[in-house]
Structure 1
């Protein structure tokens, strides 16, 4: 079975590298040329793990915080918090991430394969701090990382839970389309035509996963055709030239 067929079965998952090793910490000057859109103050993301083709492109940050106090969870719900809450979050994240000792994995801690890595990024005072923890949540019972790392995880989890519980729907006029080209031999039972007004992904010869960021009319056309895609069972769309793509999408964040 190749990776292109892995989403056809409900709940099926794909192939990626196993997880192991130490956390990665990075401190760098803040990128003042990052773009014209509002850049996040803090992000909490998951990456990697045992996931299907295209999943990492589709996976939204678990929480993003912006300077005006806007929090967005899972690119699905948003809430506004006060500057005191935002300042507390920034100070906590900066204190944890700027100290390399807080990212060091305990020697002898169990290694768990095929779990995602947790990535925290915070900016402030002209600096950007980023740390990546492999299997942070999955290794908590084993205390694989220092207590400070789990304290930050708890702080962010509380804010994410609050956003998902009390926030308003996050529905911008912008989406990320992820399309996985199926093998010609694959014959899904339900196939819809590629929606008018949505660009067809262009792939090089050896590529089979495409990502397109759509805005305005193109985004609305996709949302009309695929309003609520199932995360486990991606719908299949056929282009005019006979190619079949499994597709899914998520809303784009303000900085994307």
Structure 2
């Protein structure tokens, strides 16, 4: 039995009875309709992500959203941990985020501040019955102590941060059948230009042959290769490549089929990716 539907039906009956009572008590006055909360079950209703900033191209290409919450209550943090919100928790969170982003204060422009070089950009997107709401703010985390942006936006961020903390604390691993693999070139003992990925201690640093079951596209202008894999290729990546759980960029080196060296890692893809 779907208890959510049962509770929803009971709630609808109670609301209908209350509405009739209100009409009887106040002739000629119709009750205000209560907006329904019926989010899409398999789509995100809240996304918190960081983009840009002083980040190596490989790590940026592999970086997942901080938190994604789906309409069925599934909550996934850093594409690494997962938990589940019950219907009441989901409704309260979604309504609170929507109120934050609709607040007049959230339209406040940031006050002039010294530029934070290479600060990441925070983006929060929230589903509502009337359409998505979102905000984007550069240096949002770094400027939080000064409350440069509107309090309503920091309230929204804190709501999501509390869920992220709870999901991460449960330590329930997130697993998927699809993965993203990223490889960056190793040039003169270190990763591609501008990348802070760990340097090799010597030209004879340990390397492994690239797994034959994983085919990656040709490198882009920066030398970066990225592929979203499924099936046998995804299973091969999980089995043979090292996962960078803490996103520090200490990726093992591999000899690619064309003879070049590359460092590579992977992560699980989210349901909406």
TM-score range, shorter chain: 0.7 to 0.9
Partner of 2:231: 216
Match of 1:111 among 96, 115, 119: 115
Change (3 A) 1:234 1:167: closer
Change (3 A) 1:166 1:185: closer
Which stretches of structure 1, 4 residues or longer, exceed 6 Å deviation after superposition?
Answer: none
Determine if contact 1:184/1:243 at 8 Å carries over to the other structure.
no
Change (3 A) 1:108 1:229: closer
| Distance (Å, rounded) in 2 between the aligned partners of 1:145 and 1:244 | 44
Change (3 A) 1:238 1:97: same
| Distance (Å, rounded) in 2 between the aligned partners of 1:83 and 1:105 | 34
Q: Which structure is higher in strand share?
A: 1
Change (3 A) 1:109 1:229: closer
Which range moved further: 58-67 or 236-245?
236-245
Which range moved further: 78-87 or 187-196?
187-196
Q: Deviations over 1:173-213 (max 9, x none)?
A: 22111111233776461211111211133235x34112211
- Determine which structure has greater relative contact order: mean sequence separation of CA pairs < 8 Å that are 6+ residues apart, divided by chain length: 1
Determine if contact 2:110/2:148 at 8 Å carries over to the other structure.
yes
When Rg is computed on C-alpha atoms for both structures, the one with the higher figure is 2
Which range moved further: 140-149 or 107-116?
107-116
| Distance (Å, rounded) in 2 between the aligned partners of 1:177 and 1:188 | 25
Determine if contact 2:106/2:150 at 8 Å carries over to the other structure.
yes
Aligned length: 219
Match of 1:236 among 253, 257, 269: 253
Does residue 191 (structure 1) correspond to residue 207 (structure 2)? The answer is yes
Partner of 1:140: 144
Which range moved further: 224-233 or 127-136?
224-233
TM-score w.r.t. length of structure 2? 0.74
SS at structure 1 position matched to 2:234:
helix
Structure 1 unmatched ranges of 5 or more:
1-36
TM-score w.r.t. length of structure 1? 0.79
Determine if contact 2:101/2:156 at 8 Å carries over to the other structure.
no
Partner of 2:158: 154
Partner of 1:247: 264
5 Å-filtered alignment, 1:159-170, equals 159-170=163-174
Change (3 A) 1:136 1:114: same
